[in-house]
Structure 1
Amino acid sequence: MKKWIPVWVIAFLLMPVLVTAQDKENGDDADKYAELIKDAEFHEGFFNLYTTEDKMYLEVKEENLERDFLMNFEIAQGIGASGVFGGTMLNIFEGLLVNLEKHEGKIFLVQKPSRYTAEEGSAAERAVDLTFGSSILETAKVEATDEDGKMLINVYDWFVSDLSQVSQRVERAASNGNGPGRISFDKSRSYLSSVKSFPMNTEIEAKLSFRNQGNSAPRTVPDARYIPVSVHYSIAQLPEEPMSPRLADDRIGYFMTVHKDFTSDEESFFRRYVNKWRLECANEPDAEGLCDPKEPITYYIEPTVPVEYRQVMIDAINEFDRAFEAAGFRNGIEAKMLPEGADAEDIRYATLRWNVSDQSGYGAIGPSVVDPRTGEILDADILFEANMVQGWKNFYRTNVDPTTAVNELFEMSEDEATALRNGAEMASMADEIASQGTLLRSALIARGELAPDTPVPAEYVNQAMNRVTMHEVGHTLGLRHNFRSSADTPFDKLHDKDYTMENGLASSVMEYPGINIAPPGEDQGYFYSPSVGSYDLWVISYGYTPDDDRAAEIARQAAQPGHAYGPDEDARGSGALDPNVNTYDLSSDPMQWGMQRSDLVKNIWAELPDHVLADNVPYFEVTDAFTTLFSQYARAVAPAVKYIGGQYQYRDHKGDPDARAPFINVPKERQQAALDFLIEAAFAEDAFELPVGVYEQFGANRWNHWGVNNTYRGRIDFPLHESLVSFQSSILGQLVNPSRLSRIRDGEVKFGQQNMVTIPEMFGQITNAIWSEVWSAPGDNISSLRRDLQRAYIDGMSELVTDAPNGTPADARSVARMMLQDLHDRISRRLTPPYSFDAYTEAHLREVKVRIEKTLDAGLSLEN
């Protein structure tokens, strides 16, 4: 009879064998772990890393799994041109919320959808989890596990890759003007260049190459076939205890972290938090209402900053002390030199750094690393471009022509709007400060206070550096641009140093101000605001006061003097309707300031060679000085356009103290004054009458090598007619912009026709001014500069009649037709013999007459 052995007995007998096999497997794995890291360099920190020549092992502990952390990308080394600049973040304010997950023997790098949230433990949270999935960015198999359960994965390919999507920037840089360039990531020419790990962050840098399959690349690339870009990856710890966020308010200008919280009572579910540093009281407030911070906000000046600017930067940072005192903190902010041995890449150090580029791309920029859960600013690295400062000192040059200066005041692409909303600077900022330095230098020479071959005073350079530093520090404190703040300073206070020290030349350092230059014979005030302004105190108080109830009360002070606010979208683009919200202007009366500034420029123009040419100075300096000052002239004149059909825009809420209506009409007399100024400055017969001797000394830049543009609009000599009519056309185009024309018609209904400069009134006055030579009998000969302007007028009016842009009111088309018909009749009468026009004028008038006839006929056929 067969005997059966119980299963448990067999299992018991085999157990030592199984345990031994398991022990052996664990031992083998531990041995493999040790073998993999035997000759590797160890980087201990937030994540432990082991690097060899072609591998990078990441040590993953069980406690690391499914624990959220932050990942950011920036360009560590760019190409110094075309938007690919070293030190610029690829995801400003949009750090990736990521974690590591383990599945099927692999580790996954997972990005979570941080914008969509719900209250923890709620039914809505389950719905959010069901709806919004995570993205798997990278994977790696577990290579080995040691006795303590630590896993080793090779993440070399995670970072020597296009994980950051920097290729999108490179594609734009390699464009030939007909869409993005054709580039591909070239792994064979890419490698890891730096690995560092600190207690709170791990920093990895990779030198990447992109193969260029086209024939276009910036000149800064040594070999256009292979475009090099270094990408810096920051992996940072998130605070264990999230910061208590401060809700944003539309009356106050902060960058925001925005969630859709599906447990919110708000109709749109949006929950908006301001981006700010964590600043908490270490003790109870004293009798003055001030407490000491547990940790002050500290900025460190990196050794790359030239010695002569270090103290200027430290003083600029310390100017914010007043703002933090208004928020309730004593010594809430401080500035130091970066300690010896400290690393700017360590997230514990917010730094100010120096950078160089071939062509100025941003001048200065203040990006931040933000906790996407709460808006807490965790780190900031402010960058300054060296050639921005070079441009301040003694060069007559500008990369912003007058036409661009005009159009930039009104136009803003969607891409630029997004970038500015996220902390970028306008591309013209650095060149504009250099251009303002040229104006100052020219004005001082004209007054006899400076010799032609002398650079601008060091006082100007230091004030400019102070202004830029405060501006960028403001960004890294969470503050958005404020282009209305200049309107808080009365025109007659611009050179009152006591007033402007207390309140600012603008009430905010987040402004893009014009340079403050006194007219001849008047005392000179500060060139730029010496300290933070009244708006800065208010906005910092709102964001940083520890008391939420106090913050809510502070927000209701929007209508109080010194609290003017208008960000990028109010200054430019379709929202540009308020004449007090501009870039590069000054004072509560931008039109009066513009009149004064344009007169200053015209007076300098009249004797320009005397102001520029010293012994052995090339004549092209006169040409460059003219074009630079022309851009300043355009900046001064263009804001007047906004008065016509303009409205003063306010963000006050119902019930705020002294609350204003959301839109208030610009009085008709101010609209008319603006139109008169524009006609005088841009369309009058003598608008650009300069002595012949000035034009004769416009020289040519004959340097001929890479990096130098030695032509003007493609010509060796200066294209005078083309430059002037281009500026005039841009002013004319902005006046007849569909949004402005529609706004005028709406204003007639909202505020009464009698309170508006109507479309017929505006068109009539412009037509009269541009065609003054033939407006009444017998008529005068027309100069070549005027003929070009008149042709531009015909082009613009004909377009309104035959092919009006989308959104143009039908009434504007009808009035344009009436203007052309009236002009046609007048020209017909002037050409009725006898007349004594010169050949140019007669030919011009005959051609215009025929063009008007064809336009009117075409317009009628379109209407039928």
Structure 2
Amino acid sequence: MFRRIIIATALLFSICAQAETISGLTAGLDRQQGLFDFYWDDRKGRVLLQVDQFDRELLLLTGLAQGLGSNPVGLDRNQAGESRVVKFERVGNKVLIHQVNLDYRAQSDNPAERRAVEEAFASSVLWGFEIIAEEGSGVLVDFTPFLLSDQHGIAQRLKDAEQGSYSVDASKSAVYLPRTRSFPQNTEFEAQLTFAGSEPGKYMKEVVPTPKLVTLRQHISLVALPEDGYRPRKFHSRSGYFPLTYRDYATEIDQPMDQRLIFRHRLQKKPGSNEVVEPIVYYVDSGVPEPVRSALIEGASWWNQAFEAAGFENAFQVKLLPEDADPLDVRYNVINWVHRSTRGWSYGYSVYDPRTGEILKGNVTLGSLRVRQDFLIAQGLLQPYGKKDADTEKLKAMALARIRQLSAHEVGHTLGLAHNFIASTEERASVMDYPAPLVTLSGNDLKLSEAYDTGIGAWDKLAIRYGYGIADDAEQEFLAGIIEEAQQQKLRFISDPDSRAINNAHAESHLWDNGEEVLEEFQRMTELRRHALENFSAAANRPDVARSSLDETLVPVYYGHRYQSEAVGKLIGGLDYNYLYNDAEGESYTMVPADRQQQAIDSLAATLKPQFLTLPEKVLQLLPPKSYGYSRTIESFPAYTGVTFDSIAMAEAAAGHTFSILLHPERAARLQQQQARRGAGPGFNTLLAQLTAQALAHGDYEGLQAAVHQRVNHVYVHQLMMLAGNKKAPASARARANFELARFQHAIGEMKLFGDDPHGYNAHYFYEANRIAAYMAGDLEVEAGDIKPMPPGSPI
């Protein structure tokens, strides 16, 4: 009897569970209708998601509505995450979120062929839910655990930035209702996540009130994939676009498997007209203050010039974001204004359809402190505060000019465009370059009127035609014609892999530079720097700030040559080349002529001389210890001297930068190979011989210049040791560095070091000889961090 009661009770529970309906379970709950309907259970603090679209592909997006505020960590307000194609799958009493693997495909009408590829490569199930109710074809799941999980990869980002080991504390996390809602084509969720951790890093301590507990808001979107009708466009290496790459196993044997498409918005014309069906509209964050807001709108609007040149009428528009719009809503292309504790990078990122490359949303994040950095550069150069009523209008105009250009630049990325770092050689042909402020010296006056460009460039117009132009007939011929037109106009495209690092080989493509001729621009900039340093005064800062803050104002002036130095360095062992296809005529590349390489070596060697690195005494007299209430920051000069200004450490940092260019192992290898091929011209051995001779020229200097010379020599020996011990460097470069250390040591051994020593050279050379001996014996290890670094330069 007892057994029968148990069985009957179990059957009753089973019947009740099966009878649980969505309408019954959600009675009285707040309902949101849209792409996915969901219910808010206020009593239990949970989101119940109704799923009735199984096996339908859609986009899953993550983002941050509230950021950390630290540029080095990179978790910013309104940051958009990866675009992932997923689908809901029902398996028994479970619902899975399954991410589709689109890196490997078979674009074939044969379902068996497509299935063969799908089954050959792994996919990813991101989450599983138990069904708690169902009705008709729909089921209900508790979506809350997924929303309160770290889908944006916040904990990993903190770990990678060495800020500590953190994980979500569920007891301190909750759904954020004000930005949780559903629309016809997208459903939006937001959660306030608290991460608990131990041993927080310095950046966490800078920006989080309780560093062991950091609370951020994560945004998650479920978005319908776009309707059919979009035509993907093929990528070309000289088109200027980012590539979407995948492998197609259905291609013919004589065709490449790797397929490349460009990223771009959908843009269509009305029949028989240049008017568009739907314009591309970007919205500027309403939290941007004036006059920056107007500058952002104006700069972003420049792109309409390019679309007009491509044959569209009013196709690109910029407006202010409506008050009721969510910046992370996929329906809005947004230019976000992001505050951080320090200046940092701005970004242009796109939400896109991973199947085709169609851009669904442009998302720009602009760091708010960038405008102040440009103002600081102008402040140090023009020194406007010498009069009671200081006129700073020229400085503000330069800073706003940069913001216009920056707005256009980052929006360009969200249109699909990559950096074009060679554009500065052709009269500022693209806003997709990184521009340095073009400051000119006229007599004794510095001019800022042409610091930044004021519109879209010739390259940008061609690139928009390639990506968005509509071909009347054959598209491939149309695109090939644009590539040919760019070549005829001498508009080139070279991007990040060949430009960004100081060791890159491309001789013409650089960051933060101006002008067609690298060496001429270097001479012009060093002359401008000399003028600015000789005339630097207390007028560089406001009268109502501490005098010791002149330190930070002087930094971008003293190190003003740093990026043009990198450009000059790329001539040494450098090549000039384009992204050629195999049907191109002529040589694949050319080596920089030997005499030009020697001029580059001479130019950089000059930046190591005490005359270049030593500040005038009248400037040193201006720089006191930090005032009470002020302290050194990462924007300050380095120092060994405690609270006082260190005029030698600043030179050490500058020399370290120059030597890192001249003695980079890849550059050394290229120099050696080029000399071997040409049989003439500067080789790595002649470069080192020139630097060693300069280091041993102790009779030329006295006083502070002698002290600076000795510190530069110390850096030189240190960098030689770094190269000699670098296991990733070629053996030939390591051998040459070892030999030069021995030669340097031998030259010191020939000196009479125990005579008169008014400038400290005897002790200096004795110390360096002993360091070399210890290194050769394996008793001394050296690291890059042993040399004082410059304050950060990028972004400027």
Q: TM-score, normalised by structure 1?
A: 0.80
C-alpha distance in 2 between matches for 1:171 and 1:813: 35
Work out whether residues 348 and 362 of structure 2, in 8 Å CA contact, stay in contact via their aligned partners in 1: yes
Which of 763, 766, 772 pairs up with 1:843? Answer: 763
In the alignment, residue 30 of structure 2 is paired with which amino acid? E
Partner SS for 1:209: strand
Which of 679, 689, 692 pairs up with 1:764? Answer: 689
> Which 5+ residue runs of structure 2 have no aligned equivalent?
1-10, 780-796
Aligned to 1:373: 355
Post-superposition Cα deviations, 1:616-642, rounded to whole Å, max 9, x if no partner, equal 542213222222322323223232111
In the alignment, residue 201 of structure 1 is paired with which amino acid? N
CA pair 32-447 structure 1, distance change in 2 beyond 3 A: closer
Work out whether residues 538 and 547 of structure 2, in 8 Å CA contact, stay in contact via their aligned partners in 1: no
Work out whether residues 90 and 166 of structure 1, in 8 Å CA contact, stay in contact via their aligned partners in 2: no
Post-superposition Cα deviations, 1:162-194, rounded to whole Å, max 9, x if no partner, equal 233322123345x35xxxx22222111111003
In the alignment, residue 529 of structure 1 is paired with which amino acid? D
Post-superposition Cα deviations, 1:718-774, rounded to whole Å, max 9, x if no partner, equal 222222112212312321221111111222344x132x3112221222222222225
Aligned to 2:220: 233
Alignment of 1:680-719 (within 5 A): 680=606, 682-704=607-629, 712-713=638-639, 715-719=642-646
Work out whether residues 242 and 373 of structure 1, in 8 Å CA contact, stay in contact via their aligned partners in 2: no
Aligned length: 750
In the alignment, residue 694 of structure 1 is paired with which amino acid? V
Partner SS for 2:264: coil
CA pair 822-153 structure 1, distance change in 2 beyond 3 A: closer
Q: Which moved more, 1:845-854 or 1:550-559?
A: 845-854
**Cα displacement (A) at 1:455:** 6.7
| 1:263 aligns to 2:215 (yes or no) | no
**Cα displacement (A) at 1:366:** 1.9
Q: Which moved more, 1:732-741 or 1:313-322?
A: 313-322
Aligned to 1:460: 398
Post-superposition Cα deviations, 1:826-861, rounded to whole Å, max 9, x if no partner, equal 54554289x6542722223344455556667889xx
| 1:96 aligns to 2:24 (yes or no) | no
Aligned to 1:517: 439
C-alpha distance in 2 between matches for 1:85 and 1:540: 31
Aligned to 2:589: 663
Work out whether residues 242 and 374 of structure 1, in 8 Å CA contact, stay in contact via their aligned partners in 2: no
C-alpha distance in 1 between matches for 2:78 and 2:449: 35
CA pair 648-305 structure 1, distance change in 2 beyond 3 A: same
The percentage of counterpart residues that share the same residue type is 24
| 1:533 aligns to 2:457 (yes or no) | yes
C-alpha distance in 2 between matches for 1:818 and 1:268: 48
| 1:354 aligns to 2:337 (yes or no) | yes
Aligned to 1:542: 466
Alignment of 1:191-590 (within 5 A): 191-194=174-177, 195-216=180-201, 217-241=204-228, 243-265=230-252, 269-284=257-272, 291-339=274-322, 341-362=324-345, 364-389=346-371, 391=372, 434=373, 436-445=374-383, 454=392, 456-489=394-427, 506-521=428-443, 525-547=449-471, 548-549=475-476, 550-573=478-501, 576-590=504-518
Partner SS for 1:683: coil
Partner SS for 1:740: helix
CA pair 134-683 structure 1, distance change in 2 beyond 3 A: closer
Larger Rg, first or second structure (1 or 2): 1
**Cα displacement (A) at 1:43:** 1.2
Alignment of 1:126-141 (within 5 A): 126-141=115-130
In the alignment, residue 372 of structure 1 is paired with which amino acid? P
CA pair 628-563 structure 1, distance change in 2 beyond 3 A: same
CA pair 665-717 structure 1, distance change in 2 beyond 3 A: same
CA pair 584-200 structure 1, distance change in 2 beyond 3 A: same
**Cα displacement (A) at 1:712:** 4.7
Partner SS for 1:628: helix
Work out whether residues 85 and 361 of structure 1, in 8 Å CA contact, stay in contact via their aligned partners in 2: no
In the alignment, residue 511 of structure 1 is paired with which amino acid? D
C-alpha distance in 2 between matches for 1:800 and 1:257: 38
CA pair 729-222 structure 1, distance change in 2 beyond 3 A: closer
Q: Which moved more, 1:473-482 or 1:665-674?
A: 665-674
Alignment of 1:48-127 (within 5 A): 48-53=37-42, 54-61=45-52, 64-81=53-70, 82-89=72-79, 91=81, 94-122=82-110, 123-127=112-116
C-alpha distance in 2 between matches for 1:109 and 1:818: 61
CA pair 343-75 structure 1, distance change in 2 beyond 3 A: closer
In the alignment, residue 100 of structure 1 is paired with which amino acid? F
**Cα displacement (A) at 1:267:** 6.3
In the alignment, residue 207 of structure 1 is paired with which amino acid? Q
C-alpha distance in 1 between matches for 2:350 and 2:753: 70
C-alpha distance in 1 between matches for 2:94 and 2:516: 63
Work out whether residues 598 and 637 of structure 1, in 8 Å CA contact, stay in contact via their aligned partners in 2: no
In the alignment, residue 784 of structure 1 is paired with which amino acid? A
C-alpha distance in 1 between matches for 2:79 and 2:255: 33
**Cα displacement (A) at 1:67:** 0.4
Q: Which moved more, 1:845-854 or 1:572-581?
A: 845-854
| 1:797 aligns to 2:720 (yes or no) | yes
C-alpha distance in 2 between matches for 1:329 and 1:207: 43
| 1:187 aligns to 2:143 (yes or no) | no
In the alignment, residue 486 of structure 1 is paired with which amino acid? S
**Cα displacement (A) at 1:440:** 2.4
Aligned to 2:790: none
C-alpha distance in 1 between matches for 2:611 and 2:633: 34
In the alignment, residue 404 of structure 2 is paired with which amino acid? N
Post-superposition Cα deviations, 1:560-602, rounded to whole Å, max 9, x if no partner, equal 3352212111113486112321111111122221221122122
| 1:142 aligns to 2:131 (yes or no) | yes
Partner SS for 1:559: helix
CA pair 690-717 structure 1, distance change in 2 beyond 3 A: same
Partner SS for 1:519: strand
Q: TM-score, normalised by structure 2?
A: 0.87
In the alignment, residue 118 of structure 2 is paired with which amino acid? D
Work out whether residues 621 and 699 of structure 1, in 8 Å CA contact, stay in contact via their aligned partners in 2: no
Q: Which moved more, 1:300-309 or 1:536-545?
A: 300-309
In the alignment, residue 482 of structure 1 is paired with which amino acid? N
Aligned to 2:679: 753
Work out whether residues 67 and 76 of structure 2, in 8 Å CA contact, stay in contact via their aligned partners in 1: yes
CA pair 326-753 structure 1, distance change in 2 beyond 3 A: farther
CA pair 648-88 structure 1, distance change in 2 beyond 3 A: farther
C-alpha distance in 1 between matches for 2:46 and 2:768: 74
Work out whether residues 706 and 759 of structure 2, in 8 Å CA contact, stay in contact via their aligned partners in 1: no
Work out whether residues 385 and 540 of structure 2, in 8 Å CA contact, stay in contact via their aligned partners in 1: no
Post-superposition Cα deviations, 1:6-45, rounded to whole Å, max 9, x if no partner, equal xxxxxxxxxxxxxxxx9x9999967742232222211111
Partner SS for 1:440: helix
> Which 5+ residue runs of structure 1 have no aligned equivalent?
1-21, 286-290, 392-433, 490-505, 860-864
Work out whether residues 505 and 570 of structure 2, in 8 Å CA contact, stay in contact via their aligned partners in 1: yes
In the alignment, residue 367 of structure 1 is paired with which amino acid? Y
In the alignment, residue 470 of structure 2 is paired with which amino acid? P
Partner SS for 1:110: strand
| 1:153 aligns to 2:138 (yes or no) | no
C-alpha distance in 1 between matches for 2:710 and 2:335: 53
Post-superposition Cα deviations, 1:75-131, rounded to whole Å, max 9, x if no partner, equal 21122124253335463xx41110111111222111111221112333531310221
Aligned to 1:497: none
